């Protein structure tokens, strides 16, 4: 509890959240950070115009008696209005985005400035979106339309000022920092993230009024003797710092405060756009494009080889929507993205696009200060960002698993003494002295180009009981961007095989209708999806051939043509892609 509570209304109000971060920087710029606060300390400054003699006298009296004591100061930026009569232990009001927290205090106050000293101080026991519950009960009923505002305990700067420019009209100024002297019952919970993420880190996408300042620096030493010298730096890249000004709306103010608090000031990292037009497109864009033609800025020489800046971009479309992408290849006039653009943009609208580099960084401040516009929950602020060098982007794409099948009778078949693609079974091994050659085409394989394959195998269902072992086979895939099924033995023989191959030796008996998996085929599938022309949704084809099985030793698996394709082969792939 504070020694004195201040009920006078503020006309100018500034609120800050303060963290403390210890940052240790190594010779090469790598940082180690530790947070020294467990919740943000609140600081305020305010001006209160006052033409009421009783209030002026009250302020002078309390400045004299309590200027160095703790004050209960309202956070006027979070003023809320009673939506219905407040009585008992319930205060009905909108708490969204305001500093109402359990175990802290609030003030219910008369809406009329002339009744400035008509108020109650309450301790909050619960907060809902549309009501506050207090410990105990209100001393009286409060009609709808009166005000409720959060109250924090502040230690002032041991100085209050009263400025009089007009006879009997004062402007009272106060500053205070949240009091931490006594044991606190307040339990702080970091705000839940409602922000979009990119590569498992939050993305700061609040657009500034305009970039104010960028600075570029590299820690280096210049050693000279009699005019000759050399430069030396442990830094692998140049540090970038950005300063932006923002005008935040009523909904954005609590969102930005929450974002700042989740990252504890300078403590943790996130992605942010530079908000420069770092890249300008030169041709119309289709939503399915993975390449953007750009105006020549020597991107492939200046930026693509840099792992710190320029490899990730923020693309804002004319309608305000946006995507983030990683650049995986580039020329002087083209950038290749790790995914489709997703939105078409005509040539006439290219100037309305905004493509900025995305930087992995942190705030370069432990204090965020919001200056509120008079009488409104709108605030202006300046934020500082620090793009980090040698910061590990430890994003691991989540694995995706798919299963694909032959889709038609002609998508599987085999050759041993004759070629066919419509029998009920597929022969693996040696049949009567003839080596078996099986093909299996899998259409619509939705694996992105360049994805990392972590697991792949084919599942067969036994067509009949076969006990002979071992059946020795080699499994290749067709080295093609979009495999087509052969129509005879000649076209099957002509299929180009992958360099990667898997020796699959079957050393167990097969039981009718049971399923059996091949060995892992990841390296073979990887070779196909790494082809420059591979496109997600294209077809793959397995080519399986006998590798020296003894005469008459084989297994037969159900084909697409058996039992209405109920036991057709299955290709299972698990991959990860950015």
Q: In this structure, are 34 and 153 located in the same domain? A: yes
* H helix or E strand, kind and range, residue 106: strand 105-109
Domain presence at residue 392: no
Residue 404 confidence (pLDDT): 98
Q: In this structure, are 377 and 264 located in the same domain? A: yes
- Report residue 419's pLDDT band, with 50, 70 and 90 as the boundaries: very high
Residue 375 confidence (pLDDT): 66
Q: In this structure, are 26 and 160 located in the same domain? A: yes
Task: Provide the Cα torsion 254, 257, 259, 262; round to 10°.
Answer: -120
- Domain ranges, residue 433: 400-576
Biggest distance spanned by C-alpha atoms of the chain = 116
CA-closest candidate to residue 242, choices 370, 372, 34, 388: 388
* H helix or E strand, kind and range, residue 260: helix 252-262
360, 387, 414: which is the final residue of a domain?
A: 387
Q: What is the pLDDT of residues 93-102, one digit of tens each?
A: 999 989 999 9
Q: In this structure, are 360 and 417 located in the same domain? A: no
Burial 226-251 (b: 16+ CB within 10 A, else e): eeeeeeeeebebbbbebbbebebeee
Domain presence at residue 258: yes
Overall average pLDDT of the 111-122 stretch: 93
Q: In this structure, are 304 and 450 located in the same domain? A: no
Separation between Cα atoms, residue 142 and residue 89, nearest integer Å: 12
Q: What is the pLDDT of residues 225-274, one digit of tens each?
A: 666 777 766 666 778 899 999 999 988 999 999 999 999 999 999 999 99
Domain presence at residue 190: no
Between 37 and 421, the higher pLDDT residue? 421
Residue 338 confidence (pLDDT): 86
Q: What is the pLDDT of residues 531-549, one digit of tens each?
A: 989 999 999 999 999 999 9
- Report residue 160's pLDDT band, with 50, 70 and 90 as the boundaries: low
Look at residue 185 and tell me whether its pLDDT is greater than 60: no
Residue 60 C-alpha from the chain's centroid: 51
Q: In this structure, are 381 and 406 located in the same domain? A: no
337, 364, 387: which is the final residue of a domain?
A: 387
Domain presence at residue 447: yes
Poorest-confidence range of 6-10, 15-19, 505-509? 6-10
Domain presence at residue 480: yes
Residue 25 confidence (pLDDT): 82
Cβ–Cβ < 8 Å for 509, 466: yes
* H helix or E strand, kind and range, residue 493: helix 489-493
Look at residue 517 and tell me whether its pLDDT is greater than 60: yes
Q: What is the mean pLDDT of the chain?
A: 91
Q: In this structure, are 26 and 174 located in the same domain? A: yes
Q: In this structure, are 217 and 157 located in the same domain? A: no
Residue 187 confidence (pLDDT): 64
Overall average pLDDT of the 316-335 stretch: 93
Between 518 and 1, the higher pLDDT residue? 518
Q: In this structure, are 255 and 138 located in the same domain? A: no
Percent above pLDDT 90 for the chain: 67
Overall average pLDDT of the 56-60 stretch: 89
Separation between Cα atoms, residue 264 and residue 38, nearest integer Å: 9
Q: What angle do CA 88, 93, 94 make, to 5 degrees?
A: 150
Look at residue 399 and tell me whether its pLDDT is greater than 60: yes
Residue 39 confidence (pLDDT): 85
Domain presence at residue 336: yes
Q: In this structure, are 383 and 404 located in the same domain? A: no
Three-class SS state of 514: coil
Q: What is the pLDDT of residues 191-206, one digit of tens each?
A: 777 778 998 899 999 9
Cβ–Cβ < 8 Å for 445, 539: yes
Q: CATH number, domain at 553?
A: 2.60.120
Q: In this structure, are 77 and 215 located in the same domain? A: no
Residue 64 confidence (pLDDT): 87
* Token couple for 409: 């009778």
Look at residue 211 and tell me whether its pLDDT is greater than 70: no
Percent above pLDDT 70 for the chain: 96
Poorest-confidence range of 69-78, 230-239, 341-350? 230-239
* Number of compact structural domains in the chain: 3
Domain presence at residue 191: no
Look at residue 184 and tell me whether its pLDDT is greater than 70: no
Q: What is the pLDDT of residues 491-504, one digit of tens each?
A: 999 999 999 999 99
Overall average pLDDT of the 296-325 stretch: 90
Domain presence at residue 118: yes
Which residue reads 């599942």 in tokens? 459
Q: In this structure, are 544 and 409 located in the same domain? A: yes
Residue 463 confidence (pLDDT): 97
356, 387, 418: which is the final residue of a domain?
A: 387
């Amino acid at each position: 509890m504070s020694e004195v509570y201040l009920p006078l209304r503020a006309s100018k109000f500034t609120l800050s959240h303060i963290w403390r971060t210890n940052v240790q920087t190594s010779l090469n710029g790598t940082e180690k950070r530790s947070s020294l606060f467990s919740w943000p300390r609140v600081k305020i400054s305010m001006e209160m115009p006052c033409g009421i003699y009783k209030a002026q006298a009250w302020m002078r009296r309390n400045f004299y008696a309590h200027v160095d004591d703790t004050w209960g100061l309202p956070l006027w930026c979070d003023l809320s209005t009673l939506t219905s009569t407040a009585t008992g232990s319930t205060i009905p009001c909108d708490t969204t985005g305001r500093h109402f927290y359990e175990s802290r205090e609030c003030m219910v106050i008369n809406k009329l400035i002339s009744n400035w000293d008509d108020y109650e101080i309450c301790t909050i026991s619960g907060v809902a979106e549309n009501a506050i519950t207090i410990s105990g009960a209100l001393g009286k009923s409060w009609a709808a339309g009166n005000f409720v505002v959060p109250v924090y305990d502040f230690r002032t700067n041991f100085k209050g000022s009263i400025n009089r420019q007009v006879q009997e009209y004062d402007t009272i100024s106060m500053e205070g920092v949240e009091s931490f002297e006594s044991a606190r019952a307040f339990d702080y919970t970091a705000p839940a993230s409602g922000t979009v993420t990119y590569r498992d880190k939050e993305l700061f996408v609040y657009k500034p009024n305009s970039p104010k300042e960028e600075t570029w620096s590299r820690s280096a030493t210049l050693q000279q003797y009699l005019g000759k010298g050399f430069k030396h730096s442990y830094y692998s890249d140049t540090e970038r710092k950005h300063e932006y000004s923002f005008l935040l709306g009523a909904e954005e103010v609590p969102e930005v405060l929450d974002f700042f608090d989740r990252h504890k000031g300078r403590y943790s990292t996130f992605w942010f756009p530079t908000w420069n037009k770092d890249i300008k497109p030169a041709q119309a864009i289709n939503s399915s494009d993975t390449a953007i033609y750009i105006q020549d800025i020597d991107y492939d020489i200046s930026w693509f080889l840099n792992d710190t800046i320029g490899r990730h971009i923020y693309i804002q479309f004319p309608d305000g929507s946006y995507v983030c992408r990683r650049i995986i290849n580039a020329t002087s006039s083209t950038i290749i993205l790790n995914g489709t653009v997703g939105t078409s943009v005509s040539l006439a609208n290219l100037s309305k696009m905004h493509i900025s580099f995305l930087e992995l960084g942190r705030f370069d401040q432990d204090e965020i200060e919001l200056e509120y516009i008079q009488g409104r929950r709108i605030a202006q602020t300046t934020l500082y960002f620090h793009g980090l060098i040698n910061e590990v982007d430890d994003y691991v794409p989540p694995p995706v698993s798919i299963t694909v099948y032959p889709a038609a009778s002609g998508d599987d078949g085999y050759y041993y003494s004759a070629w066919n693609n419509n029998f009920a079974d597929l022969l693996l091994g040696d049949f009567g002295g003839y080596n078996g050659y099986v093909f299996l085409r899998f259409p619509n394989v939705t694996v992105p180009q360049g994805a990392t394959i972590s697991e792949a195998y084919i599942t067969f269902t036994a067509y009949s009981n076969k006990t002979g072992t071992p059946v020795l086979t080699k499994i290749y895939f067709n080295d093609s961007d979009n495999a087509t099924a052969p129509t005879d033995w000649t076209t099957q023989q002509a299929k180009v095989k992958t360099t990667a191959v898997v020796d699959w030796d079957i050393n167990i008996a097969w039981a009718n209708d049971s399923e059996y998996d091949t060995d892992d085929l990841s390296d073979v599938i990887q070779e196909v999806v790494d082809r420059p022309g591979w496109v997600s949704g294209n077809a793959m084809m397995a080519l399986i051939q006998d590798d020296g099985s003894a005469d008459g030793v084989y297994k037969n698996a159900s084909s697409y043509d058996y039992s209405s394709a109920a036991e057709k082969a299955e290709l299972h792939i698990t991959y990860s892609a950015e």
